[in-house]
Every structure is written in C-alpha cells, then in structure tokens.
Amino acid sequence: MTHVIFARVQPEEVRINETYRHEQTLGRTVLVPTAQAPTGQISVAVSYDGYQSFTRQAQADVRHQWWRLQPRPLATTAPSRLRRVISPLSQRVTATHHRVIHLVRRRQPGTPAAVSVPTPPADALMGHLLLDNYGRTNLGAGFDLENSFGALPLRVPIHGDGLDNLHQLLDDRCAAKLTFDYVPQTLAVRPLQMTVEMSDSTTPAWPPATASQQDVLTFLSQTAQTAEASDLVRFSFQVELHLPRTSLPAGQIVTIKQMWLEWPQPLSVPHQVARLMLGGKTAEAEAPAPVPDLVYNPSKRHLAWGGVVLSVHPTPARPDLITLVSPPMHLISQRPADLYQVDSLDGEVEIELPGLLLSGLQTFYYDGIGRRLDQVKQEKISCLLLHFKLILADLFAQRQVLLYRQAHVPNAGLRGLRLPELETHLADSSFRITRVVVNRVAGNDWQTVFGVEPRARPQSLQAWVVLGGRRSTATRGNNLYSLATVTHSELDIQLHCLSSAEHLETALTLNRLQTALIAHFEQMGAEQ
C-alpha cells in the first residue's frame, strides 16, 4: 500500500520555459531558416527555509503524518493492564483465560515477521499544477493529464538525498527543484530571420536617383574627407521577428537579449579593433547612436552584445502577423586581414519574450489541501534562438565597395564646359550621363557635378563625377601687340564610385572612365 504525505508547501517560483531554435545560412543566397525540435520545461523551486516556501506549518504536516507511519515495538505478551483484569478470573475459569490470551495473541502476534510495517515515503505531495490549453504540446500524453483532469502532481523530497531528519526541512540550507520536460509543437511561421550586408566603408549611404542636390553634395563632401579611412569591413545586421498578431500583448517591448559572432581577431591589437554602431542605413562616425558595449570572450572567441530594441514594422509579412525589426547593427573592423583567411563565421541571436508562451500553455497552482494560490510567482518565457552561419567568400564577392579617385589636368583650356561634347565623348567609351546636379560658375571658380553609369557591364557600378577648378586668362603676344586671349583652368577631377562587381572589373571600368574624362579636357586644352 502506498502512503501519501500531504504538506502545505508554497513554491518559491514556478518557471516555464519554451525554446524555439532555428538555423540560417547567409551567403550568396539567403536560405529560409530551418526549424529544429522545440523544447519546453516546467521547473518548480522549493526552499527549505522554514519561513515562506517550506514553512513551519508544512514541516508540522510532515512530522504529524511521518510518525504515524514509523514502525513501533511489538508486544510479545498481553498488556499488563489486561493481565491484571484477567488474572483474578483465571483462578476460577481456566477455559476463559486460555480463550482471551489466544485472542490477544492473534491480534498482536509475538513474531514481527508476521506484521507488514508501512515504510514512510521519501516525498510529500505539496500540491498540483493545473495545466490548461496544452493541446499544442505533448504534456497530455507524457504525464497522463487526461485521467487527472489536467492536474500535474508536485512531490517535494522530505527524506534522503541529503535530508537525514525532519529538522533539516527548516534550517534554510537546502533547496529542491522539480523539473518536467515537454515538447511544444513547431511554430507555423519562422519567427526569426536575419539579413546581413558587407561593405568596405563607414561613409553615408549612396544617394538614390531621387536625392536632392544638397544630399548629393553632402555625400560627396563626406566621402572625399573619409577617403583615406575607407580600409574597413562593415557587417550590417538586421533582425526580423514575425509573430501571430494575437500572441504579442500590446505595448510589450521586445529586445535582443544577446547576439554573438565568432571573431578570429584579438581586440587587443590596435589595428584590429572592432566597434558597433546602430541606426540608419549606415554607420556615421560623426554622430553614432547609443550602442551597447561589445564584450569579447577569449575562451570562445566570440564578440557579444545585446539590449537592442526592436520596433514594429508598418508593413508586416502577412496580415495575421506582426513584424518587428531591429535597427541596422553595424559591426566595423579596421583592416581585417584575418577575415580574408576564414571561410565562415558562426553566430547566434537570442530573443526572450517574458510573460508569453507561444504554445498557449496556461498554468495555475493549487496547494496540498486544494487551495488556489495566485500569489505564487510564475515566470513564463519563450526564448527564440537563431543560429546563423556567414559564408564570407560569398559576402566578400557581393559586398558594395565605395572607391574614390582623384585626377588633375593642368592647363585645360575651357571656354565653356560643353556638356554635349562631353556626353558624346563618354558615349564613345560606353558611358552615359544620368543626371547633372550642379553646373555653376562663381567668378573664376566653377564646379560641375554629374552622375555616370556604364552602358554595359558592370550594371551595378554607379559613379559621381565632380569637376572643379579656377579659370584664368592669359594674353599671347608682346608688349606692343596682343595676339590672342586664352582662357585655361587648373582642372581637378574627383570620381566617387559604388560597385558590387568583381574588384578587377570595377577597377578596369574606372580606368576607362578616368581616361575618357582626362582625354576630353586635354583635347579641349589643345584646341586653344
């Protein structure tokens, strides 16, 4: 026969965790994240403190029931009080004496082997955890909840495993943790996805075709100032979270708890220092956004950061979903020679959703005498993990490279810029002018800014050409006769190029563009 000890124990904490893991490969093609088997765990913490969790009242419950189940010494003869009653009668009725003694011995045999003494259990039933809406887990089949009306019994140890006597239940030196593992169903959507871009510069974003004149000039001015510091590699990460619209409470703040990336470079070397910037499409060194600290783990060779807040995207992936995105996270490495020798980098993104179980599981605690205790602390967390792999060879091949070149044409005679002739000259070299932003003259100073792109390959190349200089006039002849007045200029050419093509192809295309520009203005100078 199994004996149950009941105790009015209040858990210190009930914690339910659900973890959903996904994997994604980022390279030439971004693969859809693949889901792994999710895991779940219910853990109940009990502290033998004699105060709040395993109280003195609970210890009294155990002590009262414990001693009733302890084996007691067995009498081999009739009790002395009964003997005093029977002794006078035995002198007169001998048959009665033998009959009474025979009945007494049948009720209390003198041989202990004939008695089944109950063994006290090693645990006490402290209560039940009532589970509801567990259909999207295996809890029903794993713990036979259908036959127990959804109640999961909780048994706390009271003897053994370091508990030698009942006084240890109150001395606040021991604690117990009850765990129940289960498996939630795989989510219908891939909750976590990530995109990454690689570039070689920290300058602002390349201005689009519709950018204003001021934006274009600001961009060109900044790229000219930071041209010498463009020997960098920048990883731009962005995390997307997709959840059912009804599962996320309104106003809940979602943050990236931790994100780490395998990093083969020691941060102690000055020319290999990495830094992190947030916000915008680029990392602007002049006005960086507040960012979390980078933490380097030398044993694992990981760079880690966290605390990045996700915001709601105005256009979700589906009408029934809510989409949250992180600001672009720019991880910048200065002169990363070691990265060119690595095939891939592993990393992981971890997002916790407190107070939310994506399986829909609900729990309620009832103590040992059936009282519902809503004051028991229950912590519910859904953890989303995305393990990703960066294929560096593919990212380096696709990265957008910002190049800057300068050229000088002395004594380029200019009676006018003659843009139609320049456009024809560039067309002969398979280029076309896309947009003229500035064509102005202020006294003897002049400036012209226009966009250029190749007519053929590489299609991804875009360029801005900045022509600037100072006009001067000279009179040919002697002191008596002036034969001619010549206008010439010291011409400076700046080329700003953005390309994601192969480096050799980009370099050859820039050489053709630079040669065509120089040849055009040298020809104009020769015509003077």
What is the pLDDT, as a whole number, of residue 287?
42
Distance CA 430, CA 419 (A): 16
From the list 221, 220, 193, the residue with the least C-alpha distance to 207 is: 220
Which of 124-138, 211-225, 270-284 has the weakest average pLDDT?
270-284
What is the pLDDT, as a whole number, of residue 483?
57
Q: In what order do the strands lie in the sheet with 445-454?
A: 401-413, 482-499, 462-477, 445-454, 431-442
Distance CA 251, CA 262 (A): 34
What is the pLDDT, as a whole number, of residue 202?
53
Residue with tokens 């009942």: 166
DSSP assignment, residue 247? T
| pLDDT above 80 for 25 | yes
CB 191 within 8 A of CB 20: yes
Q: Which two tokens stand for residue 223?
A: 């790229």
What is the pLDDT, as a whole number, of residue 204?
56
Distance CA 245, CA 191 (A): 12
Indicate the pLDDT class of residue 112, thresholds 50, 70 and 90: very low
Instruction: Tell how far CA 334 is from the center of its chain.
Output: 24
User: What's the half-sphere exposure (Cβ side, CA atoms, 13 Å) at 326?
Assistant: 30
| CA–CA distances in Å: residue 460 to residues 165, 230, 399, 457 | 78, 20, 11, 8
DSSP assignment, residue 404? E
CATH of span 401-526: 3.30.310
The residue type of 391 is: I
> Helix 419-428 crosses helix 503-526 at what angle (to 10 degrees)?
140
Instruction: Name which residue leads in pLDDT, 180 or 86.
Output: 180
Q: Which two tokens stand for residue 166?
A: 């009942």
**Buried b / exposed e across 197-216, counting CB within 10 Å, b at 16+?**
bbbbbbbbebbeeebeeeeb
Which of 86-100, 188-202, 219-233, 478-492 has the weakest average pLDDT?
86-100
Neighbours of 150 (CB within 10 A): 20
Task: Return the CA Rg of the chain.
Answer: 41
Residue with tokens 């009945």: 103
CB 438 within 8 A of CB 213: yes
| pLDDT above 60 for 103 | no
| pLDDT above 60 for 456 | yes
Report CA torsion sign: 224, 226, 229, 231. Answer: negative
What is the pLDDT, as a whole number, of residue 71?
64
| pLDDT above 90 for 18 | yes
Indicate the pLDDT class of residue 94, thresholds 50, 70 and 90: very low
Specify the length of the chain in residues: 528
Map out the domains of the chain as residue ranges. 80-114, 192-350, 401-526
| pLDDT above 80 for 172 | yes
Distance CA 381, CA 356 (A): 6
What is the pLDDT, as a whole number, of residue 256?
94
Residue with tokens 């003494």: 117
Element housing 171 (H / E): none
* Mean pLDDT along residues 436-456: 78
* Mean pLDDT along residues 386-410: 81
Q: Which two tokens stand for residue 237?
A: 């990460």
Instruction: Name which residue leads in pLDDT, 466 or 350.
Output: 350
| pLDDT above 80 for 439 | no
Q: Which two tokens stand for residue 283?
A: 């990392």
Distance CA 338, CA 262 (A): 12
Which neighbouring-strand residues pair with 402? Answer: 498
Report CA torsion sign: 349, 352, 358, 359. Answer: positive
Distance CA 156, CA 365 (A): 14
Distance CA 129, CA 13 (A): 12
Instruction: Name which residue leads in pLDDT, 369 or 457.
Output: 369
Instruction: Name which residue leads in pLDDT, 44 or 499.
Output: 44
Regarding pTM above 0.75, the answer is no
Mean pLDDT comparison of 66-80, 217-231, 473-487, highest-scoring range: 217-231
From the list 166, 136, 127, the residue with the least C-alpha distance to 14 is: 127
What is the DSSP track for 449-501? EEEEEESSS-TT-EEEEEEEEEEEEEEEE-SS-EEEEEEEEEEEEEEEEEE-S
* Mean pLDDT along residues 433-454: 78
Distance CA 105, CA 77 (A): 7
| pLDDT above 60 for 501 | yes
The strand pair at 274-278 and 321-325 is best described as unpaired
CB 124 within 8 A of CB 62: yes
| pLDDT above 50 for 305 | yes
pLDDT single digits (tens) 405-419: 888 777 666 555 677
